[in-house]
Amino acid sequence: MMKMRVVIGLLCLLLAAPLHAGIMAAGTRVIYPQGHREVSLMLANTNKYPVVVQSWVDNGEGDPEFSGAPFVVLPAVFRLSPGQRQGLRIIYNQDKLPQDRESVFWLNLYEIPPLTDKQSRHSRLTLAMNTQLKLFWRPKAISSTLEDVVSQLTFRLVHDSAGWAIAVNNPTPLNISFTSITLVNGTDEHITRSQMDMMTRSFSEKHYPLETANTPLKAGKIRYRYLNENGASIEKMVPLNR
């Protein structure tokens, strides 16, 4: 799953500007198998203007000064003309990571539009886009794919001070990202609230609050969509655990 953030610069005059990332990556996620010297990702500039791109890996903070991630991205800063492509090299620095599960990081693609001579003479609003893609480091000990392990997920209906939620338990070594989770009983459906990051980490449980304030049915099925190895959304229907 990708996240996109808008960073607001000089706030003096609002200019109409479309809020979408112009730098497009060849995938929505990156899987880095242990033992590979590096992995690559192709980018393309779909804007009608050149941009400067800064790239780095962090834990999701979107902070280019973060230095705790065990990856180096080359080139770290580069310019892309309209329609131009650029390959990124992601290199693991061999810092120790858990061997029994995937580790998750975020690849940041921060694009800065140009400042024209006309704009530089007037106050303006500068918008810079930061697109984040998940980067999964996968140990050699894990031979299973997401398609192999999703059948091990369990879904329960839980209630706490915040209301009703679907608890997803992931007993597998892989991290599983959802695009939607819905409690279904005939024509009655209760969907979970949309979140910026709907990922249940390996060997953990996460609660996804339901949109409805009413008490949902305690029987039924769960319809969910998750992102597979290629970032495609796959739908599954499974029983709700009691």
| Residue 14 in this model has a pLDDT that exceeds 50 | no
Mean pLDDT of the chain: 87
Per-residue pLDDT band for 151 (boundaries 50, 70, 90) equals very high
| Residue 29 in this model has a pLDDT that exceeds 70 | yes
Q: What is the pLDDT of residue 161?
A: 76
Scanning 84-193, the segments in alpha helix (DSSP H) are: 117-120, 146-149
| Residue 88 in this model has a pLDDT that exceeds 80 | yes
Return the percent helix, strand and coil in the chain, to nearest 5.
Answer: 5, 50, 45
Q: Distance between CA 109 and CA 213 in Å, rounded?
A: 38
Which has more confidence, 157 or 17? 157
Q: What is the pLDDT of residue 147?
A: 94
Q: What is the pLDDT of residue 116?
A: 61
DSSP state of 117: H
Q: Do the beta carbons of residue 168 and residue 200 sit within 8 Å?
A: yes
Contacts of 148 (CB under 8 A, 6+ apart): none
Entry pTM = 0.86
Query: How much is the average pLDDT of 64-92?
Result: 95
Q: What is the pLDDT of residue 97?
A: 97
Work out the percent of the chain whose per-residue pLDDT is above 70: 85
